[in-house]
Structure 1
């Protein structure tokens, strides 16, 4: 199949989070299965990427367009890329694709793609990646975008991809029929973790003792993540487990200064609370390998970081604010009320009970190995594509007249496909 993947950012813009990684891994997997994959994206988030703009380049076997962002200020302030050149390429290329996959629908690029896909009758799927509802920041802007573009992008999709049952419900709230939504859980590539660093590498780098409790958060430092709750709960943790460290591993997304100020207000010194900034894949692996508990107060969708934590056997502590995943609570960790005392107690329960920690650890590792592999994720997405293509072909064949000339045209069309 000839497949178009669409996302705001792509390799090497890893600082933008999980969607970029998911799109890259999916595209690579589909290439390995023999499909032709093109990616439409933009030329970067934090800064412009040093890549050719508005023309196809080869990235690990994937044909990629990095569209030039016309207004960098909108990217930095509003997280809203403006790939002005995309319509010119779409108009000429979109009929060449069998299926289109839009990652995150509330984007200008998605609006362009939906318009031309509808015009030329090319089927597409939408995967919101936890952003179905206009929640959290910029709600007025999101509601306005949905009025003009977003609602129609969802309604015109052949299928919608949800990461969990809770996301199915969110699609329904946006007026989507449940039968049009397919659940496909994220997965991770186990091979990435074959060559591990020496245990203790991360602790040594940041002067964390071997016997210290290491509590880890991995992800963007953003207001929506509830990271102030982690800091407040850490005060209570230190009262019972003074040899504990809290690490925030990830790039600043507008909330770092607030967290630093809050840490000082709570009398938490730099040796107890560590902000690493953006970390490479190797640094992240080293941190996961050396940690005791993985914390994320709130999340949307299905964070890849949860699966990475499970691979390393880290118990997870999160809350019931935001999205939910039914495989966490009392299986690989705890889902608790959004309250600093409750959050601290759940974390302490794990830290102080080795038997419980080991039990969660074993279940977490088994979960990733059996249910959440990247191969399963790619296979499930591919199946959706194939079923849509078959359905489109049957619909097209049923609408054709039965004259000899039309039969001949149909054969030619199949040969071109």
Structure 2
């Protein structure tokens, strides 16, 4: 098939978040399976880059357009991604594609790509990546986009990809027909993790001995992730496990001082470690050294859950935001979004070595057999073939 992938950011602009990584992994696997893949993206988010712009560039055998993003010329603000040269290229090329896969629905790339897809009768698949709600982040901009374009963009799709049942229900509530919804999770490329770090390296770097229990959060330190709730929960955990530490691994999104105030108010200064942003290698070392990985709230399907599983680290999360049903009692626990419930689930894992070991074995198995990109891209190929033929059969996940 001749496939167009549309994503606001792509390799090597990894700092923009998980959508860039997922779009790249899907595209690369499609290319390796023999499909012709073209990518429309932009050249940067907020950091400088020397990527070639507004012309096709070979990236791992794929034809990638890094459209110049006018956002870089508006300092001190975060306007939408503005690929000003994309309409001319899309007008010229869209009709030759068999199917278009659009990642992240609230972007001008989405508006442009979906417009020309409808104009030339090319089916497109839309993947919102957990971003359907409009009450997080720049809520005002999201609502404005929804008023202007969302209904046409979403309901015009030949198929939509939901990362979990929560997101599938959101599509239904927006009026998407059931037969258009496919639940397809994110995955992980096992080839990118040939050798996991030996246990103890991350602990040694932060002066933590092997006997200390480590509770890990890894991701953006943002209030929407439930960081304050996690700190309060750890205050309860710390009363039972006097040697436990909480490691908050991730870049400061402008809220670290309020998190530090919460830590101080609970008398946890010497028990909570803010590491800041770490390299990918150090991230995997942190997963390997942790006893429990905790993400209180999320949307979509965070890759961090799969990386934790790959390292055999049990997971504790909640149903606040989205819900991943496969976690509960298989690789860890889903629990209520309260300090008491979260503390209880964390404490249960810290106290029971056999329980942690069982979840660890199951976590390693599930990520290798179910949540790897090779298996998932086969599902995506089947979806493409179905929408390209002009119909969809009901699918589950």
Per-residue CA deviation, residues 296-353 of structure 1 (Å, 9 max, x unaligned), is: 0011111111111112221111112111111112222111111112211210110011
Per-residue CA deviation, residues 89-117 of structure 1 (Å, 9 max, x unaligned), is: 21122122211101110111111111111
- Alpha-carbon distance in 1 for matches of 2:93, 2:176: 29
Once the two structures are overlaid, the 10-residue window that deviates more, 151-160 or 127-136, is: 127-136
Deviation at 1:75, TM superposition (A): 8.9
* Contact 1:249 1:275 (C-alpha < 8 Å) held by counterparts: yes
Query: Who is 2:369 aligned against?
Result: 370
Per-residue CA deviation, residues 113-153 of structure 1 (Å, 9 max, x unaligned), is: 11111112111100111112323233232122111111110
Query: Who is 2:307 aligned against?
Result: 308
Q: Secondary structure at the match of 1:317?
A: strand
* Contact 1:74 1:82 (C-alpha < 8 Å) held by counterparts: no
Asked if residue 11 in structure 1 is aligned to residue 4 in structure 2, the reply is no
Deviation at 1:227, TM superposition (A): 1.0
Residues 149 and 64 from structure 1, CA distance in 2 versus in 1: closer, same or farther, beyond 3 angstroms?
same
- Alpha-carbon distance in 2 for matches of 1:356, 1:7: 40
Residues 134 and 2 from structure 1, CA distance in 2 versus in 1: closer, same or farther, beyond 3 angstroms?
same
Query: Who is 2:394 aligned against?
Result: none
Which runs of structure 2 are paired with 1:9-408 in the superposition (5 Å)? 9-72=9-72, 77-78=77-78, 80-269=80-269, 271-391=270-390
Deviation at 1:31, TM superposition (A): 1.0
Q: Secondary structure at the match of 1:230?
A: helix
* Contact 2:13 2:45 (C-alpha < 8 Å) held by counterparts: yes
Once the two structures are overlaid, the 10-residue window that deviates more, 76-85 or 123-132, is: 76-85
Residues 117 and 75 from structure 1, CA distance in 2 versus in 1: closer, same or farther, beyond 3 angstroms?
farther
Residues 53 and 277 from structure 1, CA distance in 2 versus in 1: closer, same or farther, beyond 3 angstroms?
farther
Once the two structures are overlaid, the 10-residue window that deviates more, 373-382 or 327-336, is: 327-336
* Contact 2:30 2:37 (C-alpha < 8 Å) held by counterparts: yes
Runs of 5+ consecutive residues of structure 2 not aligned to the other structure: 392-397
* Contact 2:45 2:71 (C-alpha < 8 Å) held by counterparts: no
- Alpha-carbon distance in 2 for matches of 1:97, 1:116: 11
- Alpha-carbon distance in 2 for matches of 1:388, 1:229: 43
* Contact 1:166 1:324 (C-alpha < 8 Å) held by counterparts: yes
Runs of 5+ consecutive residues of structure 1 not aligned to the other structure: 393-417
Q: Secondary structure at the match of 1:114?
A: helix
* Contact 1:215 1:246 (C-alpha < 8 Å) held by counterparts: yes
- Alpha-carbon distance in 1 for matches of 2:354, 2:79: 44
Q: Secondary structure at the match of 2:70?
A: coil
Flag the structure with more relative contact order, 1 or 2, with Cα contacts below 8 A and sequence separation at least 6. 2
Structure with greater Cα Rg: 1
Give RMSD over aligned pairs: 1.8
Query: Who is 1:400 aligned against?
Result: none
Query: Who is 1:402 aligned against?
Result: none
Residues 12 and 79 from structure 1, CA distance in 2 versus in 1: closer, same or farther, beyond 3 angstroms?
farther
* Contact 1:105 1:153 (C-alpha < 8 Å) held by counterparts: yes
Q: Secondary structure at the match of 1:246?
A: strand
- Alpha-carbon distance in 2 for matches of 1:75, 1:190: 39
* Contact 1:102 1:124 (C-alpha < 8 Å) held by counterparts: yes
Once the two structures are overlaid, the 10-residue window that deviates more, 218-227 or 73-82, is: 73-82
- Alpha-carbon distance in 2 for matches of 1:75, 1:177: 41
The TM-score normalised by the length of structure 2 is: 0.93
Q: Secondary structure at the match of 2:380?
A: helix
Deviation at 1:155, TM superposition (A): 0.6
* Contact 1:45 1:75 (C-alpha < 8 Å) held by counterparts: no
Deviation at 1:2, TM superposition (A): 1.5
Residues 280 and 63 from structure 1, CA distance in 2 versus in 1: closer, same or farther, beyond 3 angstroms?
farther
Q: Secondary structure at the match of 1:71?
A: helix
